[in-house]
Homo-oligomer: A and B are copies of this chain.
Amino acid sequence: MIQLNEHERAVAAHLKHLKDQAGTHSPSIFTLAEKIPDLHIRIDACFLSNPYATDLFLDYLKRELIDTGKMRDVLEFYPSQNAVIAEILASCLHISPDNIFIGNGAIEIIQAVLHRYAGKKIIVNIPTFSSYYEFAPTGTEVVYYQLSKDNDYALNIEHYCEFVHNQNPDTVVLINPNNPDGGYLSFETMKYLLDKFSSVPTVIVDESFIHFAFEDDNYSLRSVAELVQEYPNIVVVKSMSKDFGIAGVRAGYAVMKNDRVKELLQNGFLWNSSGLAEYFFRLYVREDFLSEYEKVRVRYIKETQIFFSQLKTVEGIKLYPSLANFGLVEICDGSNAADFVSKLLIAHGIYTRNCSDKIGLEGEFVRIASRKLEENIIIVNAIRELMS
């Protein structure tokens, strides 16, 4: 079992205090560095993003904006309006611009969609990303569907369909791959579910981690966004923060029926992209960028899967099946998650996500993000040492 010494207990208490202040999200490493200056943070394995994609974006940014002086244009002037950026994306997504809504990060879209379309009753599978129940408007009943631990938190399709059928909700939420466990529903399964839910007014499908999932040897990407004409009740939410490693840029989009896009735009969201977000969206549709991006996407998936296979060999922990860029790890030696996170942070400088605030998880859980190959090796070795 993990034991903390007196100093470590003091830091752990400080850490808990900062976490409590940050609500259902983790304090950033910058907040930690500021508030607990004697911490030496080496690896942020709390943070879910592809670091190679960040490298790629920064490379383009340097060449095209910084070195050319065009950075000024991006910062000084108003960016394009929502619909203009939707039009830019349309060609690349093979979806009509009328079906695309641009968000200041996915979180803005989640908020907007819940507030407008959640209806009287929403079903949220737990454990999950907390915003889906936290941002449900007053008057919306949130019904939790508990993913079964015995089934490794994977969705039991028939049981779930029956549950939805009996509950008769206005909205269901499917995060694919799910956060915090990384469980993935195949494209065919998703289609099966969408067929079953054709009479549910709104089916939110959050594909923020879909770039890390794959079904074949080519790591091909399968999104249900292209099915929006066939299933007009879907709202596909897509963050760009994770796959492109640019959380600070705040960029996301959603695909939904055109009436809804129109309605949202009638209520604002006119200039919700920054100049840098617009630059990113314009980059995102360029063939040269996309072919470079595909390389770093596949590289990161491969390294992530290696990371998972190594984590599985560590005794005293259990890794749950994941096709996202993070693993849900259960601590099975009787230690608690807070001690695990504190010790890993203080003794090894590795910051991981304590999941004890996640509803629907029974046991001691942490979520560990995949980082660069060499960092992943350090993480595995540190956890092995911690658990020995």
Chain B residues positioned under 8 Å from A44 (CB to CB):
77
A71-B58, A135-B268, A267-B137 are contacts. A81–B25 as well, Cβ < 8 Å?
Answer: yes
Query: In the complex, which of the residues B31, B66, B269 contacts A66, with contact meaning CB atoms closer than 8 Å?
Result: B66
Chain B residues positioned under 8 Å from A104 (CB to CB):
104, 108, 250, 272, 274
- Give Cα distance in the complex from A135 to B266, angstroms: 7
Could you mark each residue 102-114 of chain A with 1 if its beta carbon is under 8 Å from any beta carbon of chain B, else 0? 0011011011000
Query: In the complex, which of the residues B47, B72, B84, B270 contacts A107, with contact meaning CB atoms closer than 8 Å?
Result: B270
Could you mark each residue 39-59 of chain A with 1 if its beta carbon is under 8 Å from any beta carbon of chain B, else 0? 000001001010100100110
* B84 pairs with A31, CB closer than 8 A: yes
Chain B residues positioned under 8 Å from A163 (CB to CB):
none
Which residue of chain B lies nearest to A75 when distances are taken between CB atoms in the complex? B248
Tallying the copies of this chain within the complex gives 2
- Give Cα distance in the complex from A247 to B276, angstroms: 11
- Give Cα distance in the complex from A58 to B248, angstroms: 18
Which residue of chain B lies nearest to A135 when distances are taken between CB atoms in the complex? B268
* B272 pairs with A249, CB closer than 8 A: no
Query: In the complex, which of the residues B105, B135, B277 contacts A267, with contact meaning CB atoms closer than 8 Å?
Result: B135
Chain B residues positioned under 8 Å from A30 (CB to CB):
73, 77, 80
Query: In the complex, which of the residues B73, B105, B247, B275 contacts A249, with contact meaning CB atoms closer than 8 Å?
Result: B275
Chain B residues positioned under 8 Å from A131 (CB to CB):
270
A58-B71, A267-B137 are contacts. A47–B274 as well, Cβ < 8 Å?
Answer: no
* A111 pairs with B276, CB closer than 8 A: no
Chain B residues positioned under 8 Å from A247 (CB to CB):
76-79, 275
Query: Is A28 engaged at the interface, CB distance under 8 Å to the other chain?
Result: yes
Binding site for B on A (CB under 8 A): 22-23, 25, 28-31, 44, 47, 49, 51, 54, 57-58, 61, 66, 71-81, 84, 104-105, 107-108, 110-111, 115, 131, 135, 137, 241, 245-250, 267-277
Task: Please give 19 more A-B residue pairs, beta carbons under 8 A apart, in addition to A66-B71, A131-B270.
Answer: A22-B81, A30-B77, A47-B77, A54-B76, A74-B248, A75-B249, A75-B276, A104-B104, A104-B108, A107-B270, A110-B268, A111-B268, A115-B268, A135-B268, A248-B275, A249-B275, A250-B274, A274-B274, A274-B276
